[in-house]
Amino acid sequence: MNGKAHRSGKGSAAAAWKVVSLTVLALLGVRSLTVAALPVAAVPVVDESAVRFCFVDLYVDSGSQTLAAWQVELVATAEAGEVKIVGIEGGEHPAYRQPAYYDPAALTHHRVILAAFCTGTDLPTGKTRVARVHLQVPADAQPHYEVKLEAAADRDGQRIDVTVHATQGEPS
């Protein structure tokens, strides 16, 4: 390099295109450019009193076996209105303190698949909270939850039998 800044990629191509476009407009004698107003998509206004927030704690019980990996699907619905997933926290055991892996696009829907694994030696046994899922629900609706185990494994990567369940909580 010669010590001068070097630009490459889409950014410099876009900048060059803008310069060329403005130069052509100036040569054509265009003194002003009017852009037609485009309609703006309506953004729904949420009445804060029409919704409330709650959370669902997800538990996996591996009995006497160590829990090294798990994958769970959570579906949250309400008879009146829409349930939205608004956040995901980790669990209570150090192996699962970090939030589980999930598809961020699922946060705008009522369904999410969560998964986590730990290669460490300090793994939980028995019943442990593996995640907390935060929800926005209609203020007057009672949400319903469906939790489905997709997979669970021990430290050797062997499939294990576990039970899963969810409990609802309200922020304090």
What is the predicted pLDDT for the residue at 20?
44
Q: What is the pTM of this model?
A: 0.70
Give the pLDDT confidence of 29-81 residue by residue, as tens digits.
544 444 344 444 555 555 657 999 999 999 999 999 999 999 999 999 998 88
HSE toward the beta carbon, residue 67, CA cutoff 13 A: 28
Top-level CATH class of 52-169?
mainly beta
Contacts of 95 (CB under 8 A, 6+ apart): 67, 68, 118, 120, 122, 123, 124
Are the C-beta atoms of 131 and 100 separated by less than 8 Å?
yes
Q: What is the mean pLDDT of the chain?
A: 81
Q: Would you kindly state where each structural domain of the chain is located, as residue ranges?
A: 52-169
> How confident is the model over 78-134, as pLDDT tens digits?
988 889 999 999 999 999 999 999 988 777 778 999 999 999 999 999 999 999 999
How far apart (Å, rounded) are the C-alpha atoms in residues 2 and 6? 9
Mean pLDDT of 144-159: 96
